Structure formats: structure tokens, C-alpha cells
A = this chain, B = another copy of it.
Amino acid sequence: MVDRTSGLPAYRQVADDLRARIASGELAPGDRLPSERQMVDTYGVSRPTVRDAVNLLRTEGLVIAEHGRGVFVRRATSVMRLARLSRSAREAGRGAFLGDAAAAGFTPSVEVQVTFEPADARMAELLGVAVGTELCVRDRVMDADGVTVQLAVSRFPRSVTKGTAMEQPDSGPGGTHSRLEEGGHQLDRFTEAVGARMPTPHESSVLQLSPGVPVLTVTRVAFTVDGRAVEVNDIVMSADRFSLAYEIPAT
């Protein structure tokens, strides 16, 4: 029963109570919450108010609503830990994603679409080329165990991809990085900028995200030994299925 004199909004009181019951373990992961109509009785508030409370917990990522079934306490999701870019995997004949995912014990697959477009301001900046320079765009949808878990869009100046398998959906054994090195563009280092944000509606549906789950974004730029940027890879992945592992020397 909510306290109408406390000053705290009723829906917050309901949300706080549910949150506390989840934290205490009374409502364990996978458990179903009382139905909205039951809570209307137990808390003495209207259904919209109950829904406001449940929606709060949903945006906090604590619970998941399933139409026709109920609202459930979210299960702790096992995260894939992605180690960043081991050359060993590339030399074993796999691209970066395939190597990472296989190492994490998943069976991955990738769907690729290749297009061409002129460089916008951001790409020009990152690749160090003029705006309008023609780029080869590899748009990739990556699945693990059948579900889409990662979106990645790589862009290369077409000067480094022309006449190579990089302009084909199947870029060949070892992926695009192997093709780059074969073309004399010896890779020296990558920079990664990691961020997080809420997904766009499109990302939300493709990645099958529950409401309240953010995405991790990685912008990876590949540089050759002569300091030239040859690839910008924009990666988006579900934050509740991934964490990124980095190792940094103290030197």
C-alpha cells in the first residue's frame, strides 16, 4: 500500500518496493512479477500508475515485459568477452569477429553487403582524405548461434580496395585485413574509441534488444606502418551480451 502523504509519487513508491524485492532476492531472476491488475489491488493505485512503475524498472533494465505472459525479473545475461584483435586469429584464416567469437565458444556467421559511397565529413577526417573521395563500404551483420549480435560497417578508401576481394562480399580467407596486407598495406596499429548510447529503433529490432538495454559502440581505425588510415570500422553491439577486454602495458 502506498503512502499518499510521503510526498514521493505513488509510481515511484511502487517501483522502489519492486526494486527492493528484486534486490533482496524475494523476486529472483526469471520470476514473474505480480500481474498489473494484482498490483492495482495490493498497492491501492490505478493501473496506469502501476504501469508507470513497471516502465521505470524496464528502462532501468531490471525487468522484461512479455505480452500475454507477464513481467519477469531479468536473468543475468552471460556476456561474451571480446578480446581486441589478435593477429593469431587472423593468421588462422578468420576475420576479427569470427576469431573473437569462436574463442568465446560461439558459432558465428556473417552476412556482408558491399556498396560504394563518397566520404562525408567524418570519414574524410578519420581517413585523412578529401570529402567526396570514393569509399568501399562493407556493411556486415554478425550472428552468433543464430541471433544477430553485432553490426559493423567498414569503410576503406577505394584506392586500397580496387581490384581486390575486399570489394566482394566474400573477402576471402583471413578477411579484409589479410587482403590489405597482401596489397602492401602493412597494418601497424588500430585505435578504438568506445562509447555507449541507447539504440536507434532500427538497431533495437535487428539486435533484438530489450527496452532499457544500451549499445556499445566502437569506432576502430586501422593504420598502416606509414601512418596512413586505411579502414574505419563502426561497430555496434548489445551491451548486455558483450564486454570488451583490453590489455594495456604499463610502460
A residues touching B (Cβ–Cβ < 8 Å)?
A: 48, 55, 59-61, 79, 81, 84-85, 87, 187-201, 211-216, 222, 239-240, 242-251
Contacts and interface: CB of A to CB of B under 8 A. Distances in A.
A244 B247 CA distance: 14
A85 B249 CA distance: 9
Given A188-B250, A250-B187, A250-B189, A195 B243 contact: yes
Given A195-B242, A196-B216, A216-B196, A247 B189 contact: yes
Contacts of A211: 59
Given A214-B214, A243-B193, A249 B188 contact: yes
6 closest Cβ pairs, A-B complex: A196-B196, A214-B214, A196-B239, A187-B250, A195-B243, A194-B244
A154 to B, nearest CB: 16
Given A188-B249, A190-B247, A246-B248, 9 more contacts: A59-B212, A60-B199, A61-B198, A84-B248, A85-B248, A188-B250, A189-B250, A195-B239, A196-B216
A250 B86 CA distance: 8
Contacts of A244: 193-195
15 contacts: A59-B198, A60-B200, A84-B248, A85-B248, A87-B250, A189-B249, A190-B247, A190-B250, A191-B248, A193-B244, A193-B245, A194-B243, A194-B244, A194-B245, A196-B215
Nearest to A239: B196
A251 B189 CA distance: 8
Given A59-B59, A211-B59, A197 B240 contact: yes
Nearest to A181: B250
Contacts of A240: 197
Nearest to A238: B196
Contact of A193 (B60, B81, B189): B81
A164 B246 CA distance: 29
B191 A246 contact: yes
Contacts of A87: 250-251
A214 B198 contact: yes
A242 to B, nearest CB: 7
Contact of A197 (B48, B190, B201, B239): B239
A102 to B, nearest CB: 19
A250 B190 CA distance: 7
Given A211-B59, A212-B59, A194 B194 contact: yes
